[in-house]
Amino acid sequence: MRWIARLAVLALLAVVGLKLREREAVIAAANADLSVERRGLVHAEGYVDDLDARIDDAVARLRDLDARVSAFEARHLDGIPAAERDDYDALLGRRNEVVSEHNELIDRRRSAVQDYMHGVGRHDAHVEDANALAAKSTPWRLVQGLWARVVGTETD
């Protein structure tokens, strides 16, 4: 009779060991996927930071051009003379190009931040799933799950 009990304990240990290996493989795969997602998020953060720097540069150039336009207009309160009109128009053209570049960078940044936030949401959901799987993968939880299957109240 004792050998039956010992055999049952050994069988239980073997099943728990196999289940632990299976769960460890699944957790390792989930960890690898999370690492890939993290690298993608770091890349997205770098892209947003790059856009921020480019926006700051565009703002600085825009301020400089605005100051130059204001100084030009301050020198000619009665209107821009025809002899200097081409220079003034070129200055306004450069300013308008910088404004267009700035607006395009702002749009790209908004899109990049939105993509980043969606990526963070997906990553957080995957982390939550991985944590739940890890919590269910402890030896005790596996034994509880096996017991529930044996007695017919499966929870796993």
**Span 26-69, pLDDT tens digits:** 888 888 888 999 999 999 999 999 999 999 999 999 999 999 99
Average pLDDT in the 127-142 region? Answer: 82
> Which of 17 and 45 is assigned the larger pLDDT?
45
Q: Looking at the domain that runs over 2-151, which CATH code has it been given? A: 1.10.287
Output the CA–CA distances (angstroms, integers) from residue 51 to 19, 48, 119, in the order listed: 48, 5, 18
Average pLDDT in the 100-115 region? Answer: 97
Question: Model confidence over 68-106: pLDDT tens digits?
Answer: 999 999 998 888 898 989 999 999 999 999 999 999 999
User: Is the separation of the CB atoms in 137 and 23 below 8 Å?
Assistant: yes
State the pTM of this model: 0.71
Output the CA–CA distances (angstroms, integers) from residue 150 to 10, 12, 36, 143, 145, in the order listed: 16, 11, 39, 10, 9
Output the CA–CA distances (angstroms, integers) from residue 62 to 21, 74, 105, 112, in the order listed: 61, 18, 13, 23
Q: To 5 degrees, how large is the angle CA 141–CA 144–CA 147? A: 150
User: Is the separation of the CB atoms in 109 and 52 below 8 Å?
Assistant: yes
What are the domain boundaries of the chain?
Answer: 2-151
pLDDT above 80: residue 16: no
pLDDT at 96: 96
> Which of 109 and 4 is assigned the larger pLDDT?
109
